[in-house]
Copies of this chain bind each other. A is one copy, B any other.
Amino acid sequence: MADQVKTSFAHGQLLTIVERIERLEEEKKTIAGDIKEVYAEAKGNGFDIKILRKVISLRKKDANERQEEESMIDVYLAALGMAVTAEAAE
C-alpha cells in the first residue's frame, strides 16, 4: 500500500497544487513576454536581435566550456578535411 499511487485524496489538495502551478506558469509567461518586449525595443533602436541573443548566450556560457566546445568542433572539422581558419588545407 505504501508504494501505491495516491488515488484517494482531498480534492482541495489537488486543486491547490494545480492552481499554484498554473499561477506560476502564468507569471513565467508574462516574463517571457517582457523579454520579447525588450528585444523588440532594442530592435527599434537599431540593434540586431539575432546577434543580441548570441551575445547573451555567450555571456551565460562558462568561458572554459565555450573553448572546449570550439576546440571539439575544430577536431571534427579537421577530420572532415575542412579548414578551421582561412589559411586552410592548401
Contacts and interface: CB of A to CB of B under 8 A. Distances in A.
Interface range on chain A: under 10, 10 to 19, 20 to 34, or 35 or more?
35 or more
A75 B7 contact: yes
B5 A59 contact: no
Interface string A15-49: 10110111011011001101100110110011110
A52 B17 contact: yes
Contacts of A28: 28, 31-32, 35
A77 B56 contact: no
Contacts of A27: 31
Contacts of A58: 72-73, 77
Interface of A: 4-7, 9, 11, 13-15, 17-18, 20-22, 24-25, 27-28, 31-32, 34-35, 38-39, 41-42, 45-48, 50-52, 54-56, 58-60, 69, 72-73, 75-77, 79-82
